[in-house]
Structure 1
Amino acid sequence: VLTTYKERKKRSTQLFNWIATGKLNIENPTTFALQDGALAHELLESRKSTGKILLIP
C-alpha cells in the first residue's frame, strides 16, 4: 500500500516509540562465525530458528 510521507513518518514514529518503551521487543540475531556456515545452514534447515541468522567474517 502506498502511503504519503506524512503517514510513513507517523507510523515510524509510533514504531520507534514502541521499541523505546518496551512495548515491542526486537530479538538479537543468531550469529555464527563464517567458518561455521554449515552449522548456520543446518539451523536454518531445521526450522528451529526464529529471526535473523548472521554469518560474521
Structure 2
Amino acid sequence: MIGVAILGTSVIKMIHASVLWGYFAYMAIDNLPRNQFWEMILLLFKPQTGITNK
C-alpha cells in the first residue's frame, strides 16, 4: 500500500489542480445530505413543533 501511494503521487501530479479541486468540491457537496453534522445544522432552521408553554 505504501508503494502504491508513492506511485500514486506521480499520477496525481499530472492531473490539473482545478480538476482535483472540482472533484473534491463535488464529493463534498454530494455527501452533505448524508452528513450528520449537516443535518444538525439544518435542525436549527426548522420550526419547533409539539412544544407547549404552560
| TM-score normalised according to structure 2 size | 0.36
Structure number with the higher helix fraction is 2
Give the greater-gyration-radius structure (CA). Answer: 2
Which is richer in strand?
1
Which structure would you say has the larger RCO, counting Cα contacts within 8 Å and 6 or more residues apart? 1
